[in-house]
Amino acid sequence: MALFHRSTHDIRRPSAQPAAQQPLTMRSTVADLWANPVGHDALTKILLQLGLGTVWVTNPVVRRLRLSQIKSIAGRHLDAGFFDALLALLNSQTDERPVDDEPATPPLESEKMPSPKPESLTDMAAEGRDDAHRPATTSVSPGTAARSPEEPSGDEPWWKRAVFYQIYPRSFKDSNGDGIGDLGGIVEKLDYLRDLGVDALWLSPIYDSPNDDNGYDIRDYRAIMAKFGTMADFDRLLAGAHERGMRLIMDLVVNHTSDEHQWFQQALRDPQGPYGDFYLFRDGTPDSPPNNWTSFFSGSAWRYFPEREQWGLHLFSSKQMDLNWDNPALRREVVDMVRWWLDKGVDGFRLDVINYISKQAELPDGDGTIAQLIGFNGIENYFYGPHLHEYLRQLRTEAFEPYDAFSVGETPGVGLDMAALLTGRDRHELDMVFNFDHLEMPGKTRFDDYRYDLDYLKHYLIDWATDYPSSCWMSLFYDNHDNPRWVSKVEPNGAYRTVLAKLLAVVQLTSRGTPFLFQGQELGMVNQRFSSIDDLRDIESINLFHELVAGGMSHTDAFAKVLAGTRDHARTPVQWTAGPHAGFSDVEPWISGDGDERDGWNAADEATNPGSVLAFYRTMTALRREHPALTDGTVAFVAPRRSHYFGYIRACDDERLFIECNLSRAPLRREPVPGGFTLLASTYDQLTLDGNLRPYEANVYQA
Ligand code: NOJ
Ligand code: CA
């Protein structure tokens, strides 16, 4: 069994029915912890960080161990503080896991192929009929015509069938020749996006900002960043998207604001005034911060403000000050602001680090062992805070629901059970969340240089498809603006680039859930060959580099470490043409890319090349639109334990589709596909009939 094999199907809690949540103590067993939603996710996270599979906590011997026994076995490795922190976290949450009203997934069809129909592809080939070899990609028509936003039948909301596309505006398209992407650039590309077949756009922040973290530090929630354009440009963009049948959602960054936001400036000037308590200030002498929490962007999470003779909390950069959500006046301001944008007609929001908004009231020190495991100090005190559900419900009932607006939460650190508590249909919190557990393999972090094994992704997808309650709905994504490119994660040297990019498209666009594409993914864009720290722009990367050097690492080693995980890999300009600056801008862009647009990796060339990654994405989004089984259907996995083989059946009343994938670069033997299947799409031009799937081969059949 591979190290990371997570065979959760046989080890989940005994019944899907929620058990009453008893307070956990040192006498509780591992099984008790595993039955608690927060305990389940915390243990899963710890195991992931240690590079271990869940079998470590689900085997009968370990299940019976009491926490007190584990403490004595672990000796000085796990002190009392660790157990206190763990129990405090687990007992802060008494909600039960949402109940399944129907099984999310039919029982696994282990080792079984879908039943054959009379005529097999092999027979067709034997008879010399060419059409058996030709992917029937022409049977679907990419969405070139304007579409009105589709309303799914019945009560299903639109976003369950949608394909989203994330735009990082700064890097998307420059329309006015200053080297920075802008709203005018997005407007120019609306037809491109419609033709790609996306249904909804998510814009990373476009609000007024001093750009310490490229717009995730907002100075004014009701104004557009001058470099991006004007409110009139935004209105034009929104109307243009709607005219083309696409919806548009905004980024909602309300865990923190810029230190240049008026609220913060007033809080500094007038601590007793209306904004004095909008942020998390604490007393302390200038040389000693109130607690040991660390920032995600290096160093302490505290900054001293002589104006108030107090420290202010910033989980991210020292210019991104955390808001105090325990203050009802702040929550009212957020609700008003959200409604203001919804009044303008936006269709929903992606909520930045939304699970961090509620902090433990006393802001206690973080536990050292947890910090060592997770890499940041203090996180257990805010990643799933005491009032999180309450604050989300307020936001939903007062802002989102009256407008029928969509919400997807970015929720780092949240696992499957916590996600279920955040998204259960009847809980009125969020529609979906982004979970990140698939992004790195167990025991790895983003800054480790390693090759990702897609078998791990397979087990992740199977676990979620099987265990996520049916009243919840899953988001599906690989690339985003915070991570290197997935194609490079799997094949860092660029081998199999086209076929691998297409395989990722197949998995993402035929799995059960809502896909989010990230700009450039549809072109097969890969990591960049930045040559020095001076090429990087991201505050996280730059701070980390300096922290590593200050800790004694050589410049070369520090740069190599940062290069493995820098977010700038995803932030280079979209490659539109083979011309100067990749057709992104007429002048030198704010961040430079590799130049591989000259080798055909650009939208213009790919649009006219039927074998390109872009052409394939168009085919796949069209396929998804034309086959309800891919959006509404159930999923059943075929031979789920066969290494690097990923087979599944998507089925609804009217049709069944069968998808088979080779998740590796080695040929993979598998049973021949039964007769009567029609090939709808393939990552290769021609089928072979020798019983092997070729490197990263993926085929979609109508069964
Ligand atoms: C998550 C965003 O995706 C990331 O880009 C940003 O730096 C942090 N939140 C802080 O807002
Ligand atoms: Ca510009």
pLDDT of residue 112: 60
Q: Which range (29-38, 293-302, 657-666) has the least confidence?
A: 29-38
pLDDT of residue 119: 35
pLDDT of residue 148: 39
Average pLDDT over residues 672-689: 89
Residue 578 has pLDDT above 80, yes or no: yes
User: CB neighbours of 345 closer than 8 A, spacing ≥ 6?
Assistant: 238, 242
Distance between CA atoms of 545 and 543, rounded to whole angstroms? Answer: 5
Q: Which residue among 195, 199, 251, 410 is the active-site one?
A: 410
35 lines ligand 1 (CB under 6 A): no
Q: Which range (80-94, 295-309, 535-549, 556-570) has the least confidence?
A: 80-94
CA-proximal residue: ligand 1, atom 8 (nearest): 216
Instruction: Tell me the sheet residues that pair with 312.
Output: 281, 303
Distance between CA atoms of 567 and 547, rounded to whole angstroms? Answer: 17
Residue 312 has pLDDT above 50, yes or no: yes
CA-proximal residue: ligand 1, atom 6 (nearest): 216
The pLDDT tens digits of the residues spanning 193-234 come to 999 999 999 999 999 999 999 999 999 999 999 999 999 999
CA-proximal residue: ligand 1, atom 2 (nearest): 352
316 lines ligand 1 (CB under 6 A): yes
Residue 137 has pLDDT above 60, yes or no: no
Residue 270 has pLDDT above 90, yes or no: yes
Which atom of ligand 1 is found nearest the CA of 315? 10
pLDDT top residue among 249 and 139: 249
525 lines ligand 1 (CB under 6 A): no
- What is the average pLDDT value for the chain, to the nearest integer? 90
CA-proximal residue: ligand 1, atom 11 (nearest): 216
Which atom of ligand 1 is found nearest the CA of 256? 11
Using a 10 angstrom Cβ sphere, with 0-12 exposed, 13-18 middle and 19 or more buried, the burial of residue 402 is: exposed
The pLDDT tens digits of the residues spanning 360-378 come to 999 999 999 999 888 899 9
Q: Which CA distances in Å does 15 have to 11, 369, 490, 585?
A: 11, 32, 37, 57
pLDDT of residue 610: 97
The pLDDT tens digits of the residues spanning 626-653 come to 999 999 999 999 999 999 999 999 999 9
Q: Which range (72-76, 429-433, 498-502, 525-529) has the least confidence?
A: 72-76
User: If you measure from the C-alpha of residue 111 to the centroid of ligand 2, how many angstroms do you get, rounded to a whole number?
Assistant: 54
pLDDT top residue among 674 and 601: 601
User: If you measure from the C-alpha of residue 591 to the centroid of ligand 2, how many angstroms do you get, rounded to a whole number?
Assistant: 13
354 lines ligand 1 (CB under 6 A): no
Residue 144: Cβ within 10 Å count: 12
Average pLDDT over residues 34-56: 86
- Provide the pLDDT confidence category of residue 181 given band limits of 50, 70 and 90: very high
213 lines ligand 1 (CB under 6 A): yes
Q: Are 451 and 490 in contact (CB under 8 A)?
A: yes
217 lines ligand 1 (CB under 6 A): no
Which atom of ligand 1 is found nearest the CA of 539? 7
356 lines ligand 1 (CB under 6 A): no
pLDDT of residue 115: 57
User: If you measure from the C-alpha of residue 316 to the centroid of ligand 1, how many angstroms do you get, rounded to a whole number?
Assistant: 8
Residue 139 has pLDDT above 60, yes or no: no
Average pLDDT over residues 19-43: 86
Residue 694 has pLDDT above 90, yes or no: yes
User: If you measure from the C-alpha of residue 170 to the centroid of ligand 2, how many angstroms do you get, rounded to a whole number?
Assistant: 8
pLDDT of residue 466: 95
Which atom of ligand 1 is found nearest the CA of 540? 7
Q: Which residue, 381, 237, 256, 375, is CA-closest to 324?
A: 256
pLDDT top residue among 572 and 142: 572
Residue 20 has pLDDT above 70, yes or no: no
User: If you measure from the C-alpha of residue 166 to the centroid of ligand 1, how many angstroms do you get, rounded to a whole number?
Assistant: 14
Q: Which range (63-77, 170-184, 269-283) has the least confidence?
A: 63-77
pLDDT of residue 620: 98
34 lines ligand 1 (CB under 6 A): no
Which atom of ligand 1 is found nearest the CA of 213? 7
Instruction: For a ligand 1 pocket test, name from 216, 258, 350, 538 the mutation site with the most ligand atoms within 8 angstroms of its C-beta.
Output: 216
253 lines ligand 1 (CB under 6 A): yes
Q: Which CA distances in Å does 138 have to 214, 364, 606, 616, 618?
A: 41, 60, 17, 11, 11
Judged by its nearest atom, the ligand closest to the C-alpha of residue 176 is: 2
User: CB neighbours of 480 closer than 8 A, spacing ≥ 6?
Assistant: 166, 434, 516, 518, 570
Residues of the chain with pLDDT > 90, as a percent, come to 77
pLDDT of residue 153: 55
User: If you measure from the C-alpha of residue 641 to the centroid of ligand 1, how many angstroms do you get, rounded to a whole number?
Assistant: 36
Residue 18 has pLDDT above 60, yes or no: no
Average pLDDT over residues 381-407: 97
Residue 574 half-sphere exposure toward CB, CA atoms < 13 A: 27
322 lines ligand 1 (CB under 6 A): no
Residue 125 has pLDDT above 50, yes or no: no
- Provide the pLDDT confidence category of residue 77 given band limits of 50, 70 and 90: confident
Q: Which residue has the tokens 């500094």?
A: 268
pLDDT top residue among 675 and 701: 701
482 lines ligand 1 (CB under 6 A): yes
- Asked if 352 is an active-site residue, the reply is yes
Which atom of ligand 1 is found nearest the CA of 216? 11
Q: Which residue among 174, 213, 322, 352 is the active-site one?
A: 352
212 lines ligand 1 (CB under 6 A): no
Residue 140 has pLDDT above 70, yes or no: no
User: If you measure from the C-alpha of residue 27 to the centroid of ligand 2, how many angstroms do you get, rounded to a whole number?
Assistant: 61
Average pLDDT over residues 73-80: 82
- Provide the pLDDT confidence category of residue 95 given band limits of 50, 70 and 90: confident
By residue count, the chain amounts to: 703
Q: Are 68 and 58 in contact (CB under 8 A)?
A: no
Using a 10 angstrom Cβ sphere, with 0-12 exposed, 13-18 middle and 19 or more buried, the burial of residue 121 is: buried
Average pLDDT over residues 101-130: 43
